[in-house]
Chain A
Amino acid sequence: MKVPISWLSDYVDIDMPIEMLSHKLTMSGLEIGSIDTIGGDWGDLIVVGRILEINPHPNADRLKVPLIDVGQEEPVSVVCGAPNIRVGQNIAYASEGAKLTNPKTGQLEQLRKAEIRGISSLGMVCSSMELGISDDHQGILELDQELLPGTPLTDILGDQILETELTPNRPDCLSVVGTAYEVAALTDQDVTYPDTSYFIGDSADEIGSVMEVFVEEPNLCLRYTGTVVRNVQVGPSPSWLTNRLERAGIRPINNVVDITNYVMMELGQPLHAFDRAKVTGNTIYVRSAKDKEILKTLDGQVRNLTKETLVIADVSGPIGLAGIMGGANTEVDDATNDVFLEAANFSASSIRQSRSLLNLNTEASYRFERVLQPELALRALKRATKLLVEICNGSVTRGHIDVYPGKTEPQNITVSLNKLGRMLGAEFSYSQVLSVLLKLGFAELRQPSSVNDLIDTLDPSAAANRDYSLTVTPPYWRSDINIEEDVVEEFARIFGYDNLPSKRLTSEVPEFTPNQYLELKEIVRDNLVGTGMSEMVSYVVTSRENLRTVGAWPDSERAMKLLNPMDQTKPWLRSSLLGNLCEGLARNHRVAPSGVRMFEIGHVFTWAMNQSHDDLPNETEHLVGGITGLRSNVSIWQQAEEVVDFFDLKGILEHALPVKLNFSPADHPALKPGGCASISVNGAEVGYIGQINENVAGFFELPKDRTFIFEVDLEALSNTYDNTPKLFESVARFPSSARDIALLADKQRSSAEIESIIGAHKLVEDVLPIDSYIGDGIPEGTKSLTYRIIFQSETGTLESGDVDKAQRQIMRSLKHQLNVDERFHVD
């Protein structure tokens, strides 16, 4: 909200520089976003001028050449095109060098002497917009008649405006008086509350005889106050009022409407004025709208209403949206004589629902949905009535309507000074706390204090240890003070958080339970980076095509979709990270085609079977990685460029995951048949690895012959991760001996099967595939595999005869079980 200092000063003295005040307000919770200065650089360059005479411009019909008294000996003459210039008028005169806003660009520009169509112009007569006061550029700004020519304009119109940035708990600071209470507490001043008294003539009618109100929804309308003011003279507001409204960012309309807005800005209570003559009958109803009812609101929009919306109605139908906006059918205009003035309190959540259903945010709804206190309504009604009497010459009716179904007893809050001291880490006295609260508008309930005094007299020895308490009633304009802790905060923020003590945690340190999963995750991350992989993080949403392409579309029942996605083409929560990975690889492959290695760890989502509304859906963490291009991501001298293959990525994965992985040939919708493996741990499948197929390559624009990816369910895998300290195994005492054997096997035969048979022999310590060959020299449909076998005995050094014998046994098993032959002796 915009709070002009000139207005604020009506209620509280400002006895410090605005910058300092602004800092204090910000630190205590009312953040000042900016301070706008009006007329800060006007100095003597912009002054009050009086139009002495107006001469025609010899060369232009629409321009005039007024002669202006600017308080100097000689009047000045300028060229002016404003339609509203008149002799005798007081205006704002800017002389050469003054800084004015250019209405076309909005920029500040320095005024220079000019010649306009042959006539030289020394200065300028200014509009509000040129002065930076408002957006009004219809004509020149007219000043009060009493002002003396030559008076610096800053003395009259100069001001500073605080732009406050409110947290949603402080609707009271959506008003100048609410802000004044903050200033008072911070600067040890008192607030002067606006006057709400007015004259009631002897002949005034009783309100009850002219108007009555029925509240049909007592839960939604907590209070409704109203009155009738007769014979108002509708017209423009006086300049002090329009100035204030404009500085607070409200456009003046006419004096009646301006007064309701003025009181809203002053006290924080929205009001509405109806043209009494346009209200049918003498009864106002506060009720829910009926289905299919419509209302044309003051902004000219026709609103289709539903029963969720609370309306103000007469016998003929709705005449206003309660707490949001009035209806055009009862709008106050120049012909209005009598007004019906409303100051009511509506349920915050109902207003919030209605305004979001109607998509209509107003100053009124903004305040109501932040919870206003019903106690405000009558005060605001009286204040507005007073202004209608004084400004519009209205005559009031006696009494006022006050339907108050939501009336509650004022809530008293008792604060233990011991608790306050414990919370804030320092001791504070009763009077120290009380004086802060009183400045904020709290009222003290004396009784507990006198009880304390009495107990102290009876038992002086216990006085030092007694928990004194303070009972207060929160200010009626504050809706955010409900519990003891709220009062503690009130004291703490005014006392200043920075003045409170600070210490390190001294309470017991919780028992440490290591989190095996997080430990595994960080090890995997470290290992992957160690192999040259770069970590990426992508958005959790994606398109259906993306998920379909990588074969991860979970089917429509299980896929999770956002109701309001940031990007309409990507409403789906990802059920796989593969698509994001491919996008990352592709993006970088385009700029650095030599070699890209990336991985991501992130959550994937699907609905559970029979998903209930109070259980979480399936959400687990996956790991994806991929490589594309060349083995080295920079070209290295004296080294042949080599394209990555399946085994590069498999090696990275085996290195990165600290568990034993098993790979077996498999099919995956994103991966090339025959170039794909499923990954399992302890017999449980945890993921896939392989070369992307043509479809994936085409969709993501990746090279299909040199892109390999994997995806692993990290949480499933972590169940097998064993971080218990490894036990010692004895080191072999006798030398081992190595043999290489070349085998001829069916092309479909997997190396893992052969290795497991070789490894089963009791003298085999290790078996390593060292070559694989398909082509000339071996029969069609077969492949040659060469293994290095390490023989080792725990009981003695193996002689060559022992190894020969073991090798023959292995070959027999291979032939028998897998039909694998020895191709030739390698050694």
Chain B
Amino acid sequence: MTNNNQNTLEKLKEEARSALAECESLASLEEWRINYLGRRGAISTVMGSLGGLDQDSRRTLGKASNDLKILLQDEYDDKVQEVSVSQNAENQVTGIDVTLPGRNPPQGSFHPTTLIVREIAAAFAPMGFRVVEGPEVELDTYNFQKLNIPADHPARDMWNSLWVDYPNDPDLRPFLLRTHTSPMQIRVMEQETPPIRVIVPGKAFRYEATDATHEWQFTQIEGLAIDKGIGFADLKGTLDAFAKSIFGETRKTRFRCDFFPFVEPGAEMSIDCFKCDGEGCRVCSHTGWIEILGAGMVHPEVLRGVGYDPNIYSGFAFGMGAERIAMLRQGIDDIRHFYANDLRFLKQFSQQ
């Protein structure tokens, strides 16, 4: 009886396999699955008929039919896979042309100034500098006087100002569009206590004729670090690290003496030209060096003015033009592009 049953299983196996081999579509495969592996299919029928056998035969045949079920299931799975792939291949002939362009959602873009400000802020962030912002209309006291630039001082000629008409008292001229972001040095020092490390991006304004490298409205990025024991070496090291982060690890920096009334000593930092590696080219006006920013140790008068004791606290400040840095790095030939709001310009800089 057992042998007979085993033969039946063997026959069933042969029959099922040849039937599977003939299946060419997912529909015929599904039909095959119901016939052989389904709940009322051949294997289930065989297994259901084992009830009348003795225990040994039941165990042997039970195991054999279970093995067969696993084997056929595996072969069925393989066949389904095979048929699916070939059906997909057929579809390609009559289906979509995948080379047609995708329907992109509209592409937005960041203003290039936003991008460079974010990048510069990110370069200073690991050094502990956080971003603060301030008003664009400033008081003369903050824009000049507290920065050691008294009225009727020729240093004021360094910043030609756009003055606000103060209707409440035409004899006074207390307000102006800030000529630099430096008044925020004062506001931050007045509001906080050292240690201070801040970056201040923002608009600044000068009453100046515009040309390819000068805009009357531009973006400046101010920096300030105040603590006990900060020296010129910290200024050099911090700004050198910034320059390498923005312009590349191999860049060299150079510091020369310069004058700003609110710092002493004052400095200007240049980098060796990234275009020609210092050989001299159009970008660096054939000098091999490119001016990047002005800096210096915060003037003791400025510290005293905000109530800090210059014998205890010292620090450095710096300022740079954001558009200028973006122009240098990205080869933009005219600063006036930044405020023309032409999408053909604006859309060039965001990474897609």
Contacts and interface: CB of A to CB of B under 8 A. Distances in A.
Given A424-B231, A505-B127, A613-B168, A497 B237 contact: no
Contacts of B236: 497, 500-503
Contact of B137 (A27, A595, A605): A605
Contacts of A285: none
A540 B257 contact: no
Interface in B141-188: 141, 151-155, 157-158, 162-169, 172-175, 177
Interface string A210-227: 000000000000000000
B197 A28 contact: no
Interface in B197-255: 197, 203, 205, 207, 210, 216-217, 225, 227-234, 236-238, 240-241, 254-255
Interface stretch (A111-119, A545-553, A631-639, A772-780): A631-639
A616 B137 contact: yes
Contacts of A632: 103, 106
Contact of A493 (B130, B203, B265, B347): B265
Nearest to B158: A168
17 contacts: A28-B256, A29-B259, A423-B231, A501-B236, A502-B237, A503-B233, A504-B127, A504-B234, A507-B229, A515-B130, A531-B108, A540-B177, A607-B167, A611-B166, A614-B174, A617-B137, A636-B103
Given A353-B152, A583-B341, A613 B258 contact: no
Interface in A344-383: 348-349, 352-353, 369-370
B126 to A, nearest CB: 10
Interface stretch (A253-261, A271-279, A596-604, A672-680): A596-604
A510 B114 CA distance: 25
Contact of A613 (B152, B166, B300): B166
Contacts of B324: none
A509 interface: yes
Nearest to B241: A504
B256 A536 contact: no
A168 B155 contact: yes
B344 interface: yes
Nearest to B229: A507
Nearest to B174: A613
A565 interface: yes
A502 B231 CA distance: 9
Contacts of A486: 264
B137 A573 contact: yes
B101 interface: yes
A587 B162 contact: no
A502 B136 contact: no
Contacts of A522: 118
Nearest to A27: B256
Given A29-B258, A611-B168, A536 B346 contact: yes
B343 interface: yes
A509 to B, nearest CB: 4
Nearest to B208: A566
Contact of B228 (A507, A535, A596): A507
B238 A536 contact: no
A425 B132 CA distance: 29
Q: Interface majority SS on A: helix, strand, loop or mixed?
A: loop
Chain A residues touching B, range: 35 or more
A827 to B, nearest CB: 32
Given A423-B314, A485-B300, A489-B265, A505 B238 contact: yes
Contacts of B266: 489
B154 A564 contact: no
Contacts of B241: 504
Given A349-B152, A349-B153, A637-B101, A503 B237 contact: yes
Contacts of B299: 485
B279 interface: no
Contacts of A619: 135-137
Given A27-B257, A423-B314, A603 B136 contact: yes
Interface string A401-425: 0000000000000000000001111
A529 B108 contact: yes
Contacts of A352: 152-154
A759 to B, nearest CB: 30
B165 A591 contact: no
A43 interface: no
Nearest to A499: B255
Interface string B331-349: 0000000111111101100
Interface string B268-304: 0000000000000000000000000000010110000
B141 A614 contact: yes
B69 interface: no
A588 B195 contact: no
- Which 6 A-B pairs give the minimum distances between C-beta atoms? A532-B106, A425-B233, A29-B257, A167-B259, A489-B265, A349-B152
B46 interface: no
A170 B259 contact: yes
B264 A566 contact: no
A231 B257 CA distance: 49
A493 B257 contact: yes
Contact of A504 (B153, B154, B173, B238): B238
Nearest to B235: A502
Nearest to B160: A564
Contacts of A538: 339, 341
Interface string A8-51: 00000000000000000011110100000000000000000000
Contacts of B175: 613, 617
Given A485-B299, A588-B343, A616-B137, A28 B130 contact: no
Contact of A348 (B154, B177, B258): B154
Given A501-B233, A505-B230, A168 B157 contact: yes
Given A498-B254, A505-B237, A518-B131, A530 B108 contact: yes
A563 interface: yes
A639 B165 contact: no
A504 B231 CA distance: 11
Contact of A509 (B108, B109, B114, B195): B195
A641 B143 CA distance: 52
Contacts of A533: 108
B259 A528 contact: no
Interface in B304-352: 314, 338-344, 346-347, 350
Contacts of A607: 167
Given A613-B166, A637-B100, A369 B154 contact: yes
B199 to A, nearest CB: 11
A48 to B, nearest CB: 35
Contacts of A690: none
A540 B138 CA distance: 14
Interface string B101-141: 10111111111011000100000000110111101111101
Given A485-B299, A503-B234, A515 B132 contact: yes
A598 B133 contact: no
B162 A564 contact: yes
A508 interface: yes
A797 B347 CA distance: 52
Given A485-B264, A531-B108, A561-B165, A497 B131 contact: no
Contact of B155 (A169, A501, A562): A169
Given A168-B154, A483-B300, 9 more contacts: A352-B153, A424-B231, A497-B232, A504-B234, A505-B225, A510-B195, A533-B108, A537-B341, A613-B175
Contacts of A539: 217, 339
B20 interface: no
Interface in A152-195: 167-170
Contacts of A302: none
A26 B256 contact: yes
B130 A566 contact: no
Interface in A560-602: 560-566, 573, 583-584, 587-588, 591-592, 595-598
Nearest to B252: A498
Contacts of A525: 110, 114
Contacts of B131: 515, 518
